[in-house]
Amino acid sequence: MFKKEVSLINKKIDVQNEKNKEVKDQILQAAKSLFSSRGFDGTTVRQICDEANVSLALVSYHFGGKENVFNALFEPLRHTFMNANYDLNDSLDSLKSFCRNFVLYRTNEHELIDILQQEIVMNSPRLEMLKDVFLPSWEQLRAILVACKEQKTIDFESIDIAINFIMGTLMFSFNNPFLNRSSFDTTPEHIADLAVSFVLDGLHTKN
């Protein structure tokens, strides 16, 4: 009898946890869409709740406020960039992989990267809590480019300028309908290949 009651309690807990996860995912998805299109300051908690079709109290219950929702959005990006490893012994191949992976991620998570771009351009006060989101990728790229220089696989005068040029290329806004009046008749993989070729040509790589 006792085991049965424990089993029922555990089952109820599992069901509630699943419901909580669904609600949190709905809130995060709604926030990502709104932050991307309206910006952080142009989005209210009520708008997020309306978009997610949840009650206003649930944002406070699950996240404690809009800033915590914003911060939680970037957890996947933190995990992706902080856990990426590149073989610096083959620096040129690592450079290609870095660029390709970044463009594919940017394509799949374009709303998230759009939000990050907005925050950087505005020099937002939230940048401090986003340092661990974008700085690891910049440091990875720097390490790769230094290795490329040492192995003489690139011929580019300044590592610092190269990093800024490359990241600007990889974070390009091809999803923006204002800048791009016609649709791209190509795949994300092909776009990634074109970006890699563009970067390598700009760095005067020695294949």
Report H helices in the chain: 2-38, 45-52, 57-62, 66-73, 75-82, 91-108, 110-121, 127-150, 159-170, 188-202
Q: How confident is the model at residue 30 (pLDDT cuts 50, 70, 90)?
A: very high
| Sign of the CA dihedral with 122 first, then 115, 67, and 82 last | negative
Q: What's the pLDDT tens digit per position in 39-87?
A: 999 999 999 999 999 998 999 999 999 999 999 999 888 888 777 889 9
Confidence of residue 33 (pLDDT cuts 50, 70, 90): very high
Q: What stretches of 74-126 show up as alpha helix (H) in DSSP?
A: 75-82, 91-108, 110-121
Mean pLDDT on 89-110: 92
Listed range (71-75, 98-102, 181-185) with the worst mean pLDDT: 181-185
Nearest to 115 by CA among 47, 39, 174: 39
Tens-place pLDDT, residues 123-156:
999 988 888 888 889 999 999 999 999 999 998 8
Cβ-contact 27, 63 below 8 angstroms: yes
- Give, to the nearest 10 degrees, the angle between helix 75-82 and helix 110-121: 90
Mean per-residue pLDDT, 101-114: 90
Higher pLDDT residue, 47 or 20? 47
189 Cβ contact list (under 8 Å, min separation 6): 104
Q: Residue 37's closest CA among 107, 109, 111, 110?
A: 111
pLDDT beyond 70 at 181: no
Average pLDDT, the chain: 86
Please give the pLDDT value at position 25: 93
Tell me the three state secondary structure of residue 37. helix
